[in-house]
Amino acid sequence: MNKIERIKAEKDGLDVYDALMRAAEEGWQTLDADDEARLKWYGLYPHNTKDGFYMLRTKVVQGVLSADQAAVMASIAEDFGRGIIDCTTRQCFQIHWITLDDIPEIFRRLDECGLTTKGACGDITRNVVGCTLAGIGHEQIADGHATAEAVHRHFLGNRLYSNLPRKFKISITGCAEDCARGLINDVALSGAVHEDGTAGFNLRVGGGLSSHPRFARALDVFVAPQEAPEVIEGVVAIFRDSEENRAKRGKARIKFLVDQLGPDEFRAELERRLGHEVRRAAPQQPDMKGHDHIGAQPQLDGAHSAVGFCVPVGRLRAAQLAEFARLAQEYASTPEVRLTHQQNVLLANIPDERVEELMAEPLAQELSPRPTLFTRGMQSCTGKEFCGLAKVHTKERAMEISAFLDEHVTSGTDGEAVGRAYGEDFRLHFAGCSSSCAQHQIGDIGIEGVLKKVEGEFVEAMDIRIGGRLGPDPRFGQHVIRKIPHWDLNETLLRIFTLYETNHDEGETFRDFAARTPAEWWTGQLTPEEVEA
């Protein structure tokens, strides 16, 4: 039994609450190492400095907050987190610099506004993600948000499923595009209409990234909305009961179980646990494009719009989040603040006649709904600033990279040509390590932080992948060059875009060029020539 399995066997992660409250009163040093590991079940991770500061993650189901909830999160960040709050790729909030003595007050504020940190981290079902515009934007096949809320409530604090082999990520979307990145989740429900006319979801299982990426596999199962909690519970139970998954921490995700069983055997086991046969999947799947929801987008009612604001590398000042809450109250017919998978913020339910007025607000000049190309496309994890796994610093460096590329790649090129070449959904993802919190394997260009020995000293360096994408023809990016010293990264990226611009066919986008160009070609072009002595 590995260390983490022993810790969970001795005491459930949810049972750490009393020890957490004692530590809040008596000091963080009173926590033993095992209980500190269990704090994850309440959304708390120690900073890599191990000096009494913590990161706190709050669940936000499908990224949908009331304006009042957003204001509470801003107050917590301002009062206890040095005025900074991070948006995550799973539509959550993270606040750093938290000390345990403030946890009782933080939990009180969250509880009063209907938010929770329970299950935000740890080997448990995590935040349920979905379409940012659920119920208001895309053509909705099924009510993904209502289904996600039902699944969230079903698992919240459920001790039958609070000791899983590893974390478990759920994506539910009822829209036609499936912009909730279901292909890289442990379980994904995607909007579909069964041949009997029922609006619901098709089921996929076993997606995930990190060092062994997999796309979720279709189980040929259709799920009606009211069936979703039971069906997902069956999937989670199969995972929970897999002792083989618990044997090795590095292979404890459900994707490895799906590898072993295959979709057909997995479906048969699901039917056995449910006690009945399941309906087979709808004949058509949604088109998995994925969108970042930046800018103004018309809502279904024909009278309102949603406006997405670009938050560079997902980092907000508390004052900016408070302003989003105020703007939602002032402009929106139903005041909401929504978080996206691309670490951005969206205000929904804006009357069409007030959209331009909203986009002229001072906050829109800081966090533009009309951002530059690479600022828009950049996604990054926490990095070495706080994370003990990260090899490199990411947030500030990602902003530097975006600014550099926005200046050099688009300079001298008209905006229309840039749009054709790269498109508004161009993705540049920067991860601090192989864990892939920044999802670098699915970026058009993915950067992963590593270390490289130079003149006897380890320095920050980066591996680069090209060609990742979701959509109808999903692919993981392939390594094209490894261990680029950090001082050469900007020029290497610029070289990649120059290679595209000088070699692509007429009208061919970067994504299409990358899809047909072998990794070996990129490697040959990007590898520095050896200089003879």
Whether residue 73 is contained in a domain is answered as yes
In a shared domain, residues 382 and 519: yes
**Residue 183 resides in a domain:** yes
Q: Which two tokens stand for residue 216?
A: 């979720």
Which region among 310-324, 488-502, 516-530 has the lowest average model confidence (pLDDT)?
516-530
pLDDT digits (tens, 9 = 90+) for 433-472: 999 999 999 999 999 999 999 999 999 999 999 999 988 8
Residue 531 — pLDDT band, cuts 50, 70, 90?
A: very low
Domain shared by 94 and 152, yes or no: no
The burial class, CB within 10 Å (0-12 / 13-18 / 19+), for 488 is middle
Same domain, 83 and 10: yes
Do 111 and 57 have their domain in common? yes
CATH number of the CATH domain containing 487: 3.30.413.10
Q: Band the pLDDT of 179: cuts 50, 70, 90.
A: confident
* Domain match, 173 and 243 both: yes
Do both 353 and 399 map to the same domain? no
Indicate the residue among 353, 369, 385 that finishes a domain: 369
Q: Are residues 449 and 486 in the same domain?
A: yes
In a domain, 295, yes or no: no
For residue 173, give its domain range: 134-274
Domain boundary among 324, 340, 369: 369
Domain count, the chain: 3
pLDDT at 83 exceeding the cut of 80: yes
Quickly state the pLDDT bin for 486 (edges 50, 70, 90). very high
443 located within any domain: yes
Q: What is the pLDDT of residues 262-291, one digit of tens each?
A: 999 999 999 999 999 999 999 766 566 667
- 92: domain CATH number is 3.90.480.20
Same domain, 351 and 453: no
* Whether residue 360 is found in the same domain as residue 398: no
Average pLDDT taken over every residue of the chain: 94
Confidence of residue 418 (pLDDT cuts 50, 70, 90): low
287 occurs within a structural domain = no
Please answer whether residues 116 and 59 qualify as being in contact, where contact means their C-beta atoms are separated by less than 8 angstroms: yes
Intra-chain end-to-end CA distance of the chain, in Å: 54
Strand arrangement of the beta sheet that strand 93-98 belongs to? 44-46, 54-58, 93-98, 84-87, 315-317
Interval 219-245: pLDDT, tens: 999 999 999 999 999 999 999 999 999
Domain final position from 274, 295, 314: 274
Exposure letters 131-170 (e unless 16+ CB within 10 A, then b) = bbbbbbbbebbbbbbebbbbbbebbeeeeebbbbbbbbbb
Amino acid 270: pLDDT? 98
Does 207 lie in the same domain as 69? no
**In-domain check, residue 298:** no
| 282 inside domain | no
Q: Are residues 519 and 410 in the same domain?
A: yes
The answer to the question of residue 123 being in a domain is no
Given a contact cutoff of 8 angstroms between Cβ atoms, the answer to whether 142 and 191 are in contact is: yes
Handedness of CA 15, 19, 21, 24 (dihedral sign): negative
Q: Is there a single domain that holds both residue 112 and residue 163?
A: no
CA 272/CA 234 separation, integer angstroms: 9
Specify the pTM. 0.94
